[in-house]
Structure 1
Amino acid sequence: MPVIPPSSVKAVRPALFTQLQTTITGTDLLVSLGKPGTYNPSDIVWVGNAHRTTKPSHMVGSGGAGWLDESYQIQVTVEVFRGGDEELVVWNRTCDLVDAVEAAVRTDPSIGGLVLWSYPQQASYDSDWEPEGKGRLAVAELLIHFEAIQ
């Protein structure tokens, strides 16, 4: 029976979290694996869901190692809140944190050798009043793309 290698996503998601936690620092900042709980500082960066696809790469009769290419996206969310009407402050900090996430990925695109490569694929930004009108909240959703051979 052939040895079927596991998906790299199991190791990459926590490795991405560790990479971000190590490189993105600051006061009143939380870097979280998964959606944060009740502790909500002003700045939050969290590593979220993964969405994976595979496709045959090379004909391997046993279906073993090297047969599949896997690609996936892991969502990283940046949330920045400031009380009052400080739209530009919130916007600038959100952009700075997005830049920091992207720089962390670009600095080590193989995520410590776990994947062939990765790159920041997409970012969408939303900035508005916090739902209760207590201040400004900006949220950026990033997709980090990963490629590996399975």
Structure 2
Amino acid sequence: MSESLVDQMNAALSTTIPIAAKMGVTIVEAGRGYAVSSVPAEGNGNHFGVIYAGVQFTVAEVLGGIIALSTFDTAKFFPLVKNLDISYLKMANSDLRAEARLDDETIERIAAEAEANGKSDFTLESDIVDAAGVVVARTRGLYQLRAYPKS
């Protein structure tokens, strides 16, 4: 995906999910079947000096929408999150990065199901890593690609 499209996604993120933009969540990379996001530590601390759990949740949760938008026909489909489980493994006190991927076989299944049924569920797993590359949290999200209602 070109840098200008990542810039467009970041601009859209600031209007569609303003709180994510306020946290400093940004899309670093996006393309067919993958997305990478990041969030700074600065301004996202909690009462005992580590990154607030909701910030960690958000940097991973947005990946499902970004992958859907960069992989599927946005004129026909939109993404939504149905569930997201997170396991906090270590205290986070530096900038964070999250990444998720869908393989080609899964992409084809989702596209075919959404075309035929108007929706398709898919699962994304993500590691949230700190600046040293330590996994501080893991997520498993259930997302759905849904067709826009026909007029």
Q: Which has the higher helix share?
A: 2
TM-score by length of 1: 0.38
Between Structure 1 and Structure 2, whose CA radius of gyration is higher?
1
TM-score by length of 2: 0.37
Q: Which has the higher strand share?
A: 1
